[in-house]
Every structure is written in C-alpha cells, then in structure tokens.
Amino acid sequence: MKSYREMTREELAREEQNLIKAFDAEKAKGLSINMARGKPSTAQLDLSNDMLDVINSKSDFCSEKGSDCRNYGDIAGIDEAKRLMGDMVGVPWENVMVYGNASLSIMYDFVSRSMLKGVLGSTPWCQLDHVKFLCPVPGYDRHFGITEYFGIEMVNIPMTPTGPDMDKVEELVNNDSAVKGIWCVPKYSNPQGITYSDDTVRRFASLKPAADDFRIYWDNAYAVHHLYDDQQDELLDILGACEEAGNPDMVYEFFSTSKITFAGSGLSGMAASQKNLDEIRHQMNVRIISYDKMNMLRHARYLVNLDGVKAKMAQHAKIMRPKFDTVVNTLNRDLKSLDIASWIEPHGGYFVAFEAMDGCATAIIQLAKEAGITLTPAGAPFPYHKDPRDSVIRIAPSLPPVPDLQAAMDVFTLCVRLATVRKLQEK
C-alpha cells in the first residue's frame, strides 16, 4: 500500500472514510480486552500450582542450616533462597538479601530511607534544597511514581539501542551533586525490550558522581525472561563491574520471582556491597523481624537451582512466544509499508514499545478504548505522565489468550491508521 506520507489530501480523506467504516464494524463487535499491564496470564500462573504441594503439614520446616522457617530470625533470608536468587542474576549469594513478594516495595523503602536518614551517613535528602533522579525514557511508570511521590525532580534521559544515553548520564551525574540516583531496567527493558551493552554497563560502573550518595537503582526484573532459545541477550554483572572500577557501593540491584512463579506471592531480593548491606540490615532490624521464610523455603525447594529456574522459564516462553509473535506479525502486516510508526522486536521481557507519529498516541489509545481495547495511558512510560512527543505506546501482550490478542491487535493497527490519517490532514 502507498505510504500515508506520500498521499495527497484527497487520498487521505478517502482513506479516512474507509477506515471509519472498518472502525465502526470493530466497535459493533463489543470487544472487552485488557492490555494495560504486564500481568501473567492464568496459564502462566498455573505452571507453578504444584509448588503449593512442596510444603504441607508433614514437611520439615527447617532451612539447610537448621533454622525453623516458621519462627522469627534470618532477617536477610535463608541461605538457599539467597543462593537461588543470586544465581538468577549472576551475583554472589553473600551479597543478596531476600524480602517479601514485591521488589517495588524494596525500591520504595530505599528512596524513603534516603529521604529520611540519608545514605551511609550523608545528609538526608529531605534536608536538601534540591534532589534529582535520572529517568531513562521510555521507562517503567511505577519507578517514576516513587520519585514523584517524594517530590524528587525527574530528568529524562533518552534511550538508545544500547541503553541510556551515557554521554548525558555522565555529564549530569559527574557534575551535578543534586543528582542522587538513576532508574534502570537493564535487561529486556520496560517497555522497549533493550538490553544494556557491556560498554554501557562499564560506563555506569565508571561514573564519578558529584554526589557521594548517588546510587544506580538497577532493577533486573527480566534477568531470565527470554522468549527464544536461540536469541537470548546477555547482561554484564553490574556489581562486579562497579567493584572493578573502584565504585563497589554505587549500585543497588533488585530482582524477583514475580513472573516466574506467582505474581503476587513470589520472592523479591536485592544485591549490594557489604557496606551497603550493613546499613540496610540496620534499618531492617527496626522495620521488621523477618520476612516470610516459609515462602522462601517453598521456592528454594521447588525451583532448587538455576537449572530449575531455566526449566520453568522455558515453560513461560512457550506461552509468551506466540503472543509476541502475534503482536509483531500484525504490526508488520498492517503498518510496515505505511511509514507511520516504528517498534522494537524484543528477545525477552513483557512488552513491545510502539512509537507512533508525533501527536498520535493519545488519539490511538482513545480510539482503542472506544472499540473495547484497554491500553496503558498515553504518557505513562514518562515522568509526570508527559510524553513530550505524544508518540510512545506500551503494548502488553501477556494477559489475553492469543485469539483475543489477535482481535485486539487488529483493532490497534486500525486505530493507528485512523489517528495518523487524521493527524496528517491537519498539516
């Protein structure tokens, strides 16, 4: 089909009328399909149902070192759970602490503690006139929600095919003492599916922050979430890179089993230098007596080791792969020749980032809503919910069954074409 950008005004008007007829037909179907968030499907949750049988009333409830997991103690988590989660992200288990079910709550706690108590003896952020966080965009909306909640100024950092724009990161971190942190989803990033290159990781590790309390918030949420056996991205270990660069305390790494076992009942964890861990334990001793060690024991006995995790993730990939293929194939079929949008075909993670023509994302999402398709709101992948170009849309294919997903994508590409034709006629 002829590119929309090459059409005359009369051709665009005729195309709009044709698209309106097709759109009205889709609306008449009464669809109701939710693609707003990266929630695992019921089929994925069912993969771990047998984990509930690992521990019962007749089980041995002691950890490998002999502590009763029904009781208090082991505030940093049981060793077998620390080892399991450390192996997942490739860090020594001695640098790992295991928490409850949500890594987002750990990140919230870390920012909150920094606001109230500072970092390793630094001035609490709440006593400073100005605090900034760097935000690679498009990025994870819940990260931005934390810093916005605490009134921290967020600075957009453009993403590139190899990770954040490191020239800009280095310029800001190394010269502005108000910059206290940066949010990162370094592997299969949310929403673009980009994995940071080795050079990007090493440049992060070699930063020379103007602020002693600057920290990299390294949210390695999709460390093992591959889609394809023969296309699996690798990520350099940031803790080891920081150690080699002489900056061992500069990073907090976060991870979880939320999309490996049960999304709402998994394990979360973090890894850091021993100096950082000592400070964290001091705060935790005030905050909590222990996390759910029975759940730690259940996961450790069920998944056992990294091989067990990989086997479970292969089952997830078998469910997820057709969904990503459905999204990408439909985009290629309906939009590739029109020269009106772009998208990244990820090797893993949970999202496809779609970039429409400037000024079209809000209109596309509204049209989709009218036709019964719920998408993440426009602007969500940006601080303050403000996409400066109104172009990025996060597609989350995990929840709907493939037939529903295909129906949703048919509507989505139709909405893209209709919104774009209308935008081009405004010029």
Q: Can you give the pLDDT at residue 386? A: 97
CATH topology of domain 61-304: Aspartate Aminotransferase; domain 2 (3.40.640)
pLDDT value at position 2?
82
Task: Return the axis-axis angle of helices 103-117 and 141-149, rounded to nearest 10°.
Answer: 30
Q: CB atoms < 10 A from the CB of 202, how many?
A: 17
How far apart CA 267 and CA 368 sit, in angstroms, is 35
Buried b (16+ CB within 10 A) or exposed e, 312-341: bbeebbebbeebbebbbebbeebbeebebb
Tokens encoding 311 = 């086997």
Q: What CATH architecture applies to the domain 4-44+310-426? A: Alpha-Beta Complex (3.90)
Strand partners, 254: 219, 270
Nearest to 348 by CA among 224, 248, 241: 224
Q: What is the pTM of this model?
A: 0.96
How far apart are alpha carbons 189 and 80 in whole angstroms? Answer: 28
Q: How far is Cα 427 from Cα 310, in angstroms, rounded to an integer?
A: 51
Query: What's residue 1's pLDDT?
Result: 73
Do the Cβ atoms of 367 and 418 come closer than 8 Å? Answer: yes
| Per-domain boundaries in the chain | 4-44+310-426, 61-304
In this structure, what token pair is assigned to residue 386?
């403000």
- What does the pLDDT look like over 362-374, one tens digit per residue? 999 999 999 999 9
Q: Which residues of 252-263 are buried (b: 16+ CB within 10 A; e: fewer)?
A: bbbbbbbbbbbb
Is residue 64 packed enough to be buried (19+ CB in 10 Å), middle (13-18) or exposed (0-12)? exposed
Q: Rounded distance, CA 214 to CA 338, Å?
A: 45
In eight-state DSSP terms, residue 300 is: H
Conformation bin of residue 359: beta by default, left when phi > 0, alpha when psi is -120 to 50 = left
Query: Each residue of 367-384: b (16+ CB within 10 Å) or e?
Result: bbeebbbbbbbbbbbbbe
Region of 254 (left: φ > 0; alpha: ψ -120 to 50; beta: rest) is: beta
Q: Which residues of the chain are under the pLDDT cut of 50? A: none
From 253, 248, 238, select the one nearest 201 (Cα to Cα).
238
